[in-house]
């Protein structure tokens, strides 16, 4: 059974709006939710970037059923892993066990703000592995002392520890990250429907674990308007992770995507109000083996209409086509 999720995208809506959106997503029947964790939007047109962890705390109190998840948090630059462990444990308690901690090696866009430089991807993966080890140790509830290659922890302890610690997901984009996820994560996170990623995850110990995908969509009754909005706010999406993780500022993404056309965007993102087009975009994730697929509706102001349409049209169509829960 495939689960269909809703994305609170912090880059395109303010904190109160995000909480209202996930409350409505729970009401209309989405199976789970995920939340981005940014310091900057990708493009200026998106216009927002509130602190994701405050949003999660509010969402945990405003909802009662829908699972919550970071998609994803980088625990190595803006945040020390000991602090991430404390935040994650607290949200798990507030949500009464509905939280999963999604982690990744980060993007320069968000992490450059603390002035620590931006090392090579191999170093970032080393840092992520060490961070996961620290977080898991703190979830056990005892005092943790750590002297590592990248991090030190001095007699740290979480004083409010949930009975069941949050499952940890790791974002993947290639063989090295799949190995890291297979060996150290409880679930896989990816934004591309590549079967090879899941096969690599399985080879390294991920067999039988959940795998969560995500894709953008642009609902709207006028398809041309939906395409225009997707181009204005999401034309960066097709650049690939090797590019997206390196650029340091929204203006960098503006420059890097200046030749991307609306037609280019419409070829990769379903736009309009034809549910068959949305089902066709989701299907490759299900066929690749993803067990959960989170949708990102583009445009903060369009969320209420999208959620209403999802309840009446999209979720029933996806569940009929994919056998989702």
Residue (of 33, 5, 42) closest to 237 by Cα position? 42
With CA atoms as reference, report the closest residue to 168 among 107, 224, 67, 88.
88
Q: Is 267 left (phi over 0), alpha (psi -120 to 50) or beta?
A: alpha
- CA-nearest of 217, 242, 184, 166 to 4 is 217
By CB atoms closer than 10 A (0-12, 13-18, 19+), residue 147 is: exposed
**H-helix or E-strand spanning residue 296:** strand 292-297
Token pair belonging to 150: 């990248």
- How far apart are alpha carbons 169 and 87 in whole angstroms? 15
Regarding beta strands 152-156 and 168-171, do their DSSP bridges make them parallel or antiparallel, or are they unpaired? Answer: unpaired
CA 223, distance to chain mean position in Å, is 26
Catalytic residue among 107, 111, 126, 292: 107
**Distance from C-alpha of 249 to C-alpha of 55, rounded to nearest angstrom:** 23
Instruction: Please list, residue by residue across 238-270, b when 16 or more beta carbons sit within 10 angstroms of its beta carbon and e when fewer do.
Output: bbebeebbebbebebbbebbeebebeebbeebb
| DSSP assignment letter at 47 | -
Distance, in Å, from the CA atom of 316 to the CA atom of 84, rounded to the nearest integer, reads 37
- Rounded to the nearest 5 percent, the helix, strand and coil shares of the chain are 50, 15, 35
DSSP state string for 83-98: HHHHHHHHHHHHTTS-
38 belongs to the catalytic site: yes
Q: What is the CA radius of gyration of the chain?
A: 19
The active-site residue out of 11, 17, 26, 38 is 38
| Active-site residue, 107 included | yes
Provide the annotated active-site residues. 38, 107
């Amino acid at each position: 059974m495939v689960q269909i999720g809703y994305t609170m995208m912090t880059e395109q809506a303010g904190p109160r709006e995000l909480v209202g959106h996930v409350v409505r997503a729970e009401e209309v029947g989405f199976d789970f939710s995920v939340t981005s964790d940014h310091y900057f939007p990708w493009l200026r047109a998106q216009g927002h970037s509130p602190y994701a962890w405050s949003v999660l705390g509010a969402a945990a109190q405003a909802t009662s059923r829908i699972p919550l998840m970071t998609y994803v948090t980088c625990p190595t630059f803006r945040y020390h892993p000991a602090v991430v462990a404390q935040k994650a444990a607290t949200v798990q308690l507030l949500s009464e066990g509905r939280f999963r901690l999604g982690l990744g090696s980060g993007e320069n866009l968000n992490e450059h703000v603390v002035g620590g430089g931006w090392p090579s991807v191999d170093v970032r993966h080393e840092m992520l592995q060490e961070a996961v080890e620290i977080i898991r140790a703190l979830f056990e509830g005892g005092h943790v002392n750590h002297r590592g290659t990248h991090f030190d922890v001095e007699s740290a302890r979480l004083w409010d520890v949930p009975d069941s610690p949050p499952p940890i997901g790791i974002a993947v984009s290639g063989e090295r990250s799949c190995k890291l996820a297979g060996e150290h994560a409880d679930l896989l996170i990816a934004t591309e429907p590549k079967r090879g990623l899941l096969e690599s995850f399985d080879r390294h110990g991920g067999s039988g674990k959940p795998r969560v995908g995500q894709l953008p969509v642009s609902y709207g009754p006028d398809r041309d308007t939906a395409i225009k909005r997707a181009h204005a706010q999401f034309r960066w999406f097709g650049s690939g992770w090797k590019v997206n993780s390196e650029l340091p500022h929204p203006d960098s993404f503006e420059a890097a995507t200046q030749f991307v056309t609306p037609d280019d965007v419409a070829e990769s993102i379903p736009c309009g109000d034809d549910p068959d087009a949305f089902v066709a975009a989701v299907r490759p994730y299900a066929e690749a083996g993803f067990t959960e697929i989170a949708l990102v509706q583009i445009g903060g102001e369009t969320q209420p209409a999208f959620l209403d349409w999802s309840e009446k049209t999209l979720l029933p169509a996806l569940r009929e086509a994919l056998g989702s829960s």
